[in-house]
């Protein structure tokens, strides 16, 4: 199975770039499953239903969220009726929506997509490790599902790495989100799980993690609230990860970074 994961979509510029690039990426890389993190799509904070519909229309099979899941209140009824829009699975019981979904591909293959949120320097949610283990206990990689993709939305790279090594051999890929900076550690772990600490963002990198740099930098200089943060609107680099798996085992054959446009050096799977 050929999987494309795109990192945090940042603001209007990020939405427009993904809407333009995702159909081409799906075609050129012959993608079977496309997953997009959309939690920053609305001015950097949350996702509105119409924005989710645009990303789905562009070719996203699943959209994941994160710590900004509820910043747009109108997403609450929408997520309850949209199974392919995921919030972290370790929110407490009773939280609207779901943290995992099984996607049936047109050829009959099935893929499980899940998202967990880390706890280091983040909100004190339920344990992402135990929550993930509970979900994985319901499936057999390579048997009941041909691939399993986990989005670990976390601040600390150590927590993302620990999560990936914990589930190495149990999932096809663990891809980190949240920090908006693409990491250079794409690898297939010893047990056969593809991993990258952070997929990066789909946004303007002439910024502070996608936000206008002057106001964001001033907050560090003065250590007091300043002007309201807004998304940078310059040329966007669409950042993500490509993973190819073996249908018989569900494990990864290869992983490669994807970077298109904007300021960062381009990268594309050979």
The catalytic site residues sit at 68
Length reported for the chain: 270
Q: Which helix (H) or strand (E) holds 62?
A: strand 62-64
Question: For residue 244, what are the β-bridge partners?
Answer: 2, 254
Provide CB contacts within 8 A for 221, sequence distance 6+: none
* CA gap 200, 259 in Å, rounded: 9
Residue indicated by tokens 């920053």? 40
Q: Taking the mean position of all CA atoms in its chain, how far away is CA 203?
A: 14
The CA-to-CA distance between both ends of the chain, in Å, stands at: 16
* CA gap 116, 89 in Å, rounded: 5
Question: For residue 202, what are the β-bridge partners?
Answer: 9
Three-state SS at 27? helix
CB 152 within 8 A of CB 99: no
């Amino acid at each position: 199975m050929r999987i494309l994961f795109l990192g945090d979509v940042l603001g209007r510029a990020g939405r427009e770039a993904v809407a333009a690039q995702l159909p081409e990426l799906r075609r050129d890389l012959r993608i079977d499953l496309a997953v997009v993190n959309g939690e920053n799509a609305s001015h950097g904070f949350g996702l509105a239903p119409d924005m989710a519909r645009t990303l789905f229309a562009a070719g996203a099979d699943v959209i994941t969220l994160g710590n900004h899941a509820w910043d747009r209140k109108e997403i609450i009824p929408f997520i309850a009726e949209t199974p392919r829009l995921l919030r972290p699975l370790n929110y407490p019981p009773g939280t609207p929506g779901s943290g995992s979904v099984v996607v049936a591909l047109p050829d009959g293959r099935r893929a499980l997509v899940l998202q967990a949120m880390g706890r280091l320097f983040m909100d004190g949610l339920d344990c992402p490790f135990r929550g993930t283990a509970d979900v994985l206990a319901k499936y057999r990689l390579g048997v009941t599902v041909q691939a399993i993709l986990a989005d670990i939305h976390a601040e600390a790279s150590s927590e993302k790495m620990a999560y990936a090594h914990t589930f190495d051999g149990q999932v096809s890929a663990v891809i980190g989100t949240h920090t908006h900076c693409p990491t250079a550690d794409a690898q297939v772990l010893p047990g056969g799980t593809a991993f990258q600490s952070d997929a990066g963002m789909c946004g303007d990198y002439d910024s502070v993690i996608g936000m206008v740099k002057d106001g964001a930098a001033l907050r560090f200089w003065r250590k007091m609230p300043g002007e309201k943060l807004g998304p940078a609107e310059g040329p966007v680099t669409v950042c993500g990860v490509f993973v190819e798996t073996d249908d018989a085992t569900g494990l990864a054959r290869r992983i490669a970074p994807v970077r298109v446009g904007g300021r960062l050096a381009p990268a594309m799977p050979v």
